[in-house]
Amino acid sequence: MILFFTPNSPYARTARIALREWGVLEAAEERLATNRQVDNPVLQFSPVGRVPTLVHNGLVITEARSVFAYIRDIAGAGNAEWTSPADWAAIADEGQISGFLEGIAFWVRENRRSVAERSGFLLKVERNRTLRCLDYIDTLATTRPLPTVKEFRGAALASALHLMDVHRFYPDWKMNNKALGAWFEHQLDRQSMRETAPHV
């Protein structure tokens, strides 16, 4: 089993967290990809060329949520969280968290461009989305427990928050989102988070 990743991809990080949280790390090889490069090793297996990409038993799985679920299945955990109608609340929450992660990832990519090439309009749009999402998820955290990074939506949320933190896009967010900040600090203590921290 090969998992292709890049160190700062929050999407690939969810898969790397899953390998560790579900005890599958020793069965996998984590292999560095080179996104948007002609020599990207992922292209040997997938024309999409993005991370995470998991290659196992003739399968090539590319969507972060699907990779996470596959790793759970290999560990024998199945997908129990999807089996009850009551889980639509979790699915709904995951949609909001995935949108938050998408916004942070876009923000990072846009800020990597030269100052002259950046879109001030798009950066403002994503900042506003980030602020809305932080308030929304903070409210969730005050009404019911958020999942740990052992679940996909927890791994996605922690990865997005950590990426936002290390790039200092919104340094004071924990002061205004105390419940979410407390949850995040607890997740940072997990070994899977420490071993997959982004490089800045």
Report residue 65: phi and psi, to 5°: -65, -40
C-alpha angle 132-127-90 in degrees, rounded to nearest 5: 40
Domains of the chain: 2-80 (3.40.30.10), 84-195 (1.20.1050.10)
190 C-beta neighbours (distance < 10 Å), count: 18
Eight-state DSSP code of residue 48: S
Eight-state DSSP code of residue 114: -
Banded pLDDT at 86 (limits 50, 70, 90): very low
Token duo for residue 15: 């898969």
Residue-level pLDDT at 37? 83
pTM of the full predicted structure?
0.86
Residue-level pLDDT at 80? 53
**Per-residue pLDDT tens digits for 44-68:** 999 888 899 999 999 999 999 999 9
pLDDT cut 70: percent of the chain above it: 94
Question: What span, in angstroms and rounded, lies between the C-alpha atoms of 76 and 42?
Answer: 27
H or E element in which residue 25 lies: none
Report residue 53: phi and psi, to 5°: -125, 125
Eight-state DSSP code of residue 78: T
Residue 131, amino acid: L
**Per-residue pLDDT tens digits for 107-138:** 999 998 999 999 999 999 999 999 999 999 99
C-alpha angle 170-174-177 in degrees, rounded to nearest 5: 110
| SS3 state of residue 196 | coil
CB-based contact 75:23 (threshold 8 Å) = yes
